[in-house]
Amino acid sequence: MAAEFAIFGVEEARVRAVRSVAGACRDRRAFPSGEALAEEADSALDGAAADGADPESPLVGAMRRAAQETAAREVVLALPLSRLLVRIVRVPVDSRDEAGMRAAEALARISPFPDEELAVGAEVVQENETELVVLAAALPEASAAEIGAALDAAGVRVTRVDVTALGRLRAFWPRIAPDGAPGRRLVLMNLDGADWDVVVLDD
C-alpha cells in the first residue's frame, strides 16, 4: 500500500476522513451524516420535490463532501462491526488450505440473509502447534448497497475494507497490553457514540 492514503470511516452519525502518512494519522475531519443533518435533509427533500429530483441521502451527502474536501479518489473504507458479519473460526493446522472455506461456512450459518452469497475475507490472527485462529468477515448486501451508492456518488474507489474496531485495537495496543504478558483482557469501545463494541482477547 502507498505510504500516503485516505481512510473513510463510516459511523452512525458521520463519515470520518483521515489521511495516513507513513503509518501516522493526520488531517482528521468529520462530515455529519445522521441526526445532525436532519434539518438539511428535510430542506433538500423539499427542494427535490419542487424540482422533481431525487433527494440526496445523508450518507451520500457526507461521503460526497468528504471526497471533495480531501480530494481523495482511492480510499480505505473502515466499517463498524454493526455493518459486518464477523466470526472467529478455529481450524486445525493440517487443514490450513480449508481456512477460507470454513470461514465462509461459519458466516453463512449466522447470516440473516440465507439466500445471499457472501464475499468473505479471512485472516489468521493466531497460530499454535494444533490450530489456526481465523478472523472471518463479510459485508452483507444490505449494507453494501447503501455504502456502494454513497461511494459511487462521491466518485471514490475502495482499495481495501477494514474493521474500525480492529484499527483502534492496534492503535491502543500499548495501553491494552503494556507488558505483553499472556492472559485474558476485556476491551470495551464506544467508537461513534452509538454502539458499544466488546472484544475479548486471550493471550
Torsion sign, CA atoms 58, 20, 83, 159: positive
Q: What per-residue confidence (pLDDT) applies to 67? A: 93
Q: What per-residue confidence (pLDDT) applies to 85? A: 92
Q: What per-residue confidence (pLDDT) applies to 133? A: 94
Q: What per-residue confidence (pLDDT) applies to 39? A: 53
Q: What per-residue confidence (pLDDT) applies to 140? A: 85
pLDDT tens per residue, range 129-165: 999 999 999 988 877 888 999 999 999 999 988 898 9
Specify the pairing of strand 120-127 against strand 4-10: unpaired
Q: What per-residue confidence (pLDDT) applies to 182? A: 81
Q: What per-residue confidence (pLDDT) applies to 23? A: 67
Answer whether 151's CB lies under 8 Å from 159's CB.
no
Specify the pairing of strand 131-138 against strand 157-163: unpaired
Torsion sign, CA atoms 189, 75, 143, 115: negative
Alpha carbon distance 154, 68 (integer Å): 8
Answer whether 103's CB lies under 8 Å from 119's CB.
no
Q: What per-residue confidence (pLDDT) applies to 50? A: 47
Q: What per-residue confidence (pLDDT) applies to 171? A: 84
Q: What per-residue confidence (pLDDT) applies to 141? A: 83
Cell output for 11: 459511523
Q: What per-residue confidence (pLDDT) applies to 191? A: 78
Print burial letters for 17-34: b (CB count within 10 Å at least 16), e (below 16): bbbbeeeeeeeeebbbbb
Q: What per-residue confidence (pLDDT) applies to 55? A: 59
Question: What pTM was computed for the model?
Answer: 0.77
Q: Which residues of the chain have pLDDT under 50?
A: 38, 41, 47-54
| Rounded to 5°, angle at Cα 46 from 44 and 51 | 90
pLDDT tens per residue, range 91-111: 999 999 999 999 999 999 998
